[in-house]
Every structure is written in C-alpha cells, then in structure tokens.
Structure 1
Amino acid sequence: DFFIEFSRQGPCILSRSILQLLYLPLFNKVFGTLNFADVLKDAAKNFIFPPVLMPKSTLLLNPQAKEYVDTFLTHCVRPFGNLVQLCGHNRARQRDKLAHLLEDFATLQDEGEWKTIEEKPPPSSPGRDSNLDLPVLSSLAQHDKRVSQLRHGGGGLDVDSYHRTGEAQCQRAERVDAYLHNLSLKSDSPRPHLACFGTWILYHTLRVMIMYLLSGFELELYSNHEYHYIFWYLYEFLYGWLVSALSRADSFLTEQEAMAEIHKGRGTKKNKSKKKKTRPYGREITIYQALQNICGGFYKVHIM
C-alpha cells in the first residue's frame, strides 16, 4: 500500500530508485536480510489469519502440508516482487507492466482458491459497439479464446464465458486450501480452511485490475464513448468482488478472534465488561462500496 500511494504522488526517478533499493535490494530479500516468502507469510496471516499459520498449529507438522504452503508462498514471491518493482516506474510504464502482472496473479489464483465470491446472475452487457480493448479481462480469467475484449462491431463482453472459465480455473485453485481444509477437519481442533489463501490472492488480483483500469483515466487513454464500459465493469464486477473478498476476510478474522477468546477464557473468570467488537475491514469495505456506487452513478449518467 505504501509503494502504491508513494507512486501516486509522482516522485522523481531518484526517489523511486532509492525506495526500491532500500526495500528490495535483492529480488527475494526484503531490506537485504528478510526472506520475501516469510514477509508474504506474515502478510497473509495479517489479512485473513489462515488456521495453518496460527500459533501452535498442528497442520504444519504434516510434511506434505508444510510443502504445500512453502511452495505456494515461494510462487507468490515473483508476482508480489514485480508489483513492488512496478511502483518504481513512471505511471505510463506501470500500466504496461500491470497487464503482464495480471497473468502472474492469475497463475497464483490457480493455486489459491477462487470460490470466495457468491455467484450472481451476470449483468447484461452495456453495448457492443466499442473498440475498447481490455486485456485485463482475459488475463485474470485466462480465456482460451480471449473473448472478454470489447471491440468494435463484435463480441462484446462474454460474461458467461468469463464465469465458466473462472469455475474451471478453480479446479487448480482449490489445491492448497482444500488440502489444508481436509487436514484441519481431521485434527483435534478442526477449523475451516477453505478460501483462505485464495481470498488473499483474489483481493490483490482485483486491486491490480482496478489499478489497470483507473490508470487509463489518469493517462487520458479512453475516448468519451468508452467511459460507460469502464464504469460498468468497475461497478458490476470489480468493486463488488473486492467488497465480497474483504467481507469474507472480515468474517473469517472475526470468527478466529472469537474462537481464540473462547479458548483463552477457559479456566479464567469472564470479564463482565464486554469490549465493543470492531470489524477489521469495516472502514475499507465502506470505502470500496462508496467507490462502487460512484462508478455505478457515472455509468448510469453516461447511458442516459
């Protein structure tokens, strides 16, 4: 988040270079000493607190489970490292690299877990007369025929194909979470592990997609007649899915905290003064819901 916000301020190339060299002098070493995979493990832990990363977790005692987690986090190093390095480029160059970065995150999504968003009937396409090319769509879903592009006189956005490809993609996406989930259910303290790493990856994938689309406005790449396509996609899909991913993480963290309090409270007297529980991602969810509604308003204004 810091790198993204710093980049938005338009710093000079010297400032960008110094920041890159300080944080990631070597591609797999943060500050030159910390293993990048360990940093990502802490990031996933802070985001959704998967049971496998909890203190005293028995899941990692299983050699194959440990190998699954370590391999997955090792595969995360490249796309997240590229995301950090991407912020060291100018804004135009960032957009070019974002399109390629989406392919790396789509591959990660194959190993995480996709089924974090409740399926809803796909909205109708806003029209079929744009020459707007959205490689971001095919990058995430990895369409075999790359039908998710908006082009003049053809095709439009094939939402049904997009969802079918996403469902096929989750056959690999469930490997890590599903395996750990099955192990967790057989342990002494069973806890659900479905969609933990997948939600974390999906959250970052959606943010990269949103960055790609919004950068087009910043760089003035869109024609006026293309605006409603962009706002429609942000409103109907990306921000909605982002809110759902955060809500999933929010609920999971709340459940984990409640279970931890129950175990901690055993053998001790209950505190009569109940603390007011706050939602971990309540503020972020509200912000993205507001942005979703703003995009929805812009879309509806443009089609009037």
Structure 2
Amino acid sequence: MMPGTFEQHELSAAFPAMSDEARLALRDSVEDIGIQNAVVLFEGKVIDGWHRYCAARELGANCPTVELPADVDPRAFVLAQNRARRHLTASQVAFVVAAVHEWVPAHRPVADKSAPGADFPKTAPELAEIAGVGVRTIERAKAIVRDGAPEVQAAVQSGEVSVKQAAEIVKCPKPDQAAVLKAAGALKGKARTSDDEPQQERAIDAEDVPQAADLARELAEAVADNESMSRVFEANDQVAAAMAEAKRFREENRVLNERIHGLQNEVNAARRQAKYWQRRAEGGAA
C-alpha cells in the first residue's frame, strides 16, 4: 500500500539532485527488491529518502515511512545521511552545511541559551568544523546562501562552480548574477577543491615530497581558476557597461520626449492664435 502524499523537506532539498543515471538505477532497484530503508519524515515532510519515495510512487510500490525521533537534530541527521551516501566537493559540502544551518526549527526555544533544547545559530568556525573546510570557505558559502540568485546557488549545489567563484558573482546585484554567470562561462567549469582554503596550514616536510605532483596539479588548477575569475570580472564589467549605455539611452529618450512635448505645446498655441485672428478677421468682415 502506498503511503500518503508528502513533500520534500527544505533541509534535504539543499543537497544536489540525483543524476539521471543514478535515478534510473534506483528505480530499477526499487522495482526488483522494493524499498529496503524506510523514508524518514519530519514535520510531515520527507527529510531523508526523497528519491526512494518518488521511485516508489512512480512504480506504485510499497514505501514504509518512519518519523524522525524527537530528540534528534534534523539538520545533523540530514547532513550525516547525505554525506555518507554522496561524493561531494568541499565547495558543495560548505554550501550544504551553510544552507542547512540557515534553517532553525520553529519549535525550539532560542531566547534563553541555558534552556533545555535551546537552539542558537552556529558560528562560522563551528560550521567550518562541521563541513571540514576553512572558515573563509564557510563565510563565502553563507554569502551565497544569503545573497545568491537561484541560478548561482544551483551551480554551486551541483558542483559546476566553486564557492570561491560564486562568492565573487554574488557581489553583483542579484538580477544581474545569472547573466554574469553565463557570460563568464562558469557553468562549463567544474568546482575544484583547490578553491577551498585548508582548515589549518602546515609546513612541507620530507614526508610531503611524494606529494609534489599533487601540489603541482593543485597549483595549475589554482592558476586556471584565477583565469576563470578574470573572465568573471571582465563579464561583470561588460554588464556594467551595458547597463550604463542603457541608462544613457533612457536619458536621451527622456530629453527627446520633453522636447517633443514642448514643440507640441508650441504648435497648439500657434493653432489657438491662428483661430483667434481668424475669428477677429471674420467678425470685421461682417
């Protein structure tokens, strides 16, 4: 028997969508052996197992559900479940952690930190520790969650751009961000873990010598990323120039409209004057 109709919870929606290939594989598995792990619900929505639930609905298969225990933090649960199953870049993890922790359970008190079950927003260092990235990377991710257009957030979420690239894009006005993203060719790039600063810097010693090739590769990636960001800034300048040109055209149009309006007034005044003298002339002739 199919369960009731549910919606996906916004916490689980913060993770990247499943690829078409993975979705087909899951559908085949559900068709062959059914749902092996129950879908988890929270606040009446699917917090874990959304793709399993959708596959079961498509196939008309049985889909068992369970409620998230009341003493479990839904944010920590979602992060743990999804990170255990997915291979995510550091940028994706940072974005997901920032996005998940933007959500605060409505039923938990926040006024008194000493109150049982009190829930307070985590600091950037705390989020960085959860994500396993640097504080600066988390701060960039938070800026993208707060100020990013949906297109930019989706690009980071899918791994198409890094938080470093996206953080520069979201400095632009939100209506312009999608255009800048497209103009820079950022959607064709892949997010690189070299964009994310390490949580702790350390000196290179003799044990690191075998890793020289990896370090050289990371340096090359960083150089390529800098070139990509140059294109982002160039595209941003082009957008700004286009906006300035459009503003100039609007101003010229306004001046022309005012001039046309003034000429029209002059024509109307001349017509009234002509009619006046015409009436005077006709009256004198009579």
Do they superpose with TM above 0.5?
no
TM-score by length of 2: 0.30
* Higher RCO (Cα < 8 Å, 6 or more apart): 1
TM-score by length of 1: 0.28
